[in-house]
């Protein structure tokens, strides 16, 4: 049976005959459908986030597994967590069929090998505390299905993110489904378009909301940012200023004493503590700045 991601989109028939402005309009119309499809899965996304948070709180990890665009988006989301939230690189990991070389160019045939997906899971030493999110727009990528099956066998929580109604047989070994049905692509089968957009939106929420629930955001500020470059150092200064009301020079000095940790610098300034005592207070409250400041 042909997947809806492979169907022909009636809204883009004869697109090669249309003006540039007309094509852009079609893109806007179709991208709105991707947004609506993700919104329709709000409850499923929220439930998946709770599964991730529960895993993180018991020392578990989150793994994304995908091929092609799906794999690249998973690796992208995972790689953004350490600088944004100061997580360890092991906490959220992206696995792509074909390995890192597939981030830049297609590795033909790897996505068709379920055994490779199973092996990738074993190599990461998944446990029953972990969560594995298989990403496959078409709902049938063998590499992803192999990874999900292996994770299920290990006892990990399994989540399947796809843009079609999933095959019935998957339901016996997938814990949870997220299925934004985006419909046929503007260019038939090009799932880097609407399906890719929907996937990115979902992954944004899985990690970001999880990190909020783990206390890595105060108000709407990334107080656990890892200041690893000039831009992020300047952002850290602004964050410390926004929360404590001090001037830039005081914020910079506190950050220097806190080894660049904005959250620690905030506690030091707000409570008049040295770095050691401020860190002890943070640990006492599980890293939740709100509990200390309110």
Region 74-78 average pLDDT: 98
pLDDT at 2: 46
Region 259-266 average pLDDT: 94
Active site residue 80: yes
Catalytically annotated residue among 110, 111, 185, 252 = 111
More confident residue, 39 or 226: 39
**For residue 243, pLDDT beyond 80:** yes
Active site residue 108: no
Region 55-81 average pLDDT: 97
pLDDT at 3: 59
For the segment 193-237, what is each residue's pLDDT rounded down to a tens digit?
999 999 999 999 999 999 999 999 999 999 998 777 899 899 999
| Predicted structure pTM score | 0.93
pLDDT at 106: 82
Tokens at residue 165, please? 């109604």
**For residue 253, pLDDT beyond 50:** yes
pLDDT at 1: 38
Region 268-284 average pLDDT: 97
CA 217, chain centre distance (Å):
16
pLDDT at 226: 78
In terms of Cβ atoms closer than 10 Å to its own Cβ (0-12, 13-18, 19+), residue 229 is: exposed
Query: Burial letters for 154-181: b for 16+ Cβ neighbours within 10 Å, e otherwise?
Result: bebbbbbbbbbebeeebeeebbbbbbbb
pLDDT at 116: 96
Look over the chain and give the mean of its residue pLDDT values, rounded to a whole number: 95
Tokens at residue 106, please? 């297609």
Residue 96, CB-side half-sphere exposure with 13 Å CA sphere: 23
For the segment 149-169, what is each residue's pLDDT rounded down to a tens digit?
999 999 999 999 999 998 888
For the segment 13-23, what is each residue's pLDDT rounded down to a tens digit?
999 999 999 99
Domains (range + CATH), the chain: 4-213 (3.40.50.10490), 230-293 (1.10.8.1080)
Contact 89, 228 (CB under 8 A): no
């Amino acid at each position: 049976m042909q997947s809806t991601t492979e169907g022909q989109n009636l809204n883009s028939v004869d697109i090669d005959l249309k003006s540039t402005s007309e094509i852009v309009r079609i893109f806007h119309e179709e991208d709105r459908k991707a947004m609506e499809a993700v919104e329709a899965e709000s409850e499923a996304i929220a439930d998946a986030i709770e599964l991730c948070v529960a895993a993180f709180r018991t020392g578990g990890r989150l793994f994304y597994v995908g091929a092609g665009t799906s794999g690249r988006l998973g690796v992208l989301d995972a790689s953004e967590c350490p600088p944004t939230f100061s997580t360890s690189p092991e906490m959220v990991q992206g696995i792509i069929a074909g390995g890192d070389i597939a981030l830049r160019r297609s590795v033909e045939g790897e996505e068709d090998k379920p055994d490779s997906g199973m092996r990738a899971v074993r190599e990461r030493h998944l446990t029953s505390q972990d969560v594995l999110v298989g990403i496959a727009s078409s709902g049938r990528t063998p590499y992803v299905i192999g990874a999900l099956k292996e994770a299920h066998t290990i006892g990990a929580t399994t989540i399947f993110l796809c843009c079609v109604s999933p095959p019935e047989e998957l339901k016996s070994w997938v814990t949870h489904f997220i299925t934004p049905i985006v419909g046929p692509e503007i260019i038939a089968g090009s799932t880097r378009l609407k399906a890719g957009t929907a996937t990115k939106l979902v992954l944004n929420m899985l990690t970001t909301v999880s990190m909020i629930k783990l206390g890595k955001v105060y108000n709407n500020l990334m107080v656990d940012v890892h200041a690893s470059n000039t831009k992020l150092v300047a952002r850290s200064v602004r964050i410390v200023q926004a929360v404590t009301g001090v001037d830039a020079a005081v914020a910079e000095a506190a950050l220097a004493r806190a080894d660049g940790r904005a959250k620690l610098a905030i506690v030091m300034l707000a409570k008049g503590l040295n770095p050691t005592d401020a860190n002890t207070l943070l640990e006492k409250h599980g890293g939740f700045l709100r509990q200390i400041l309110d």
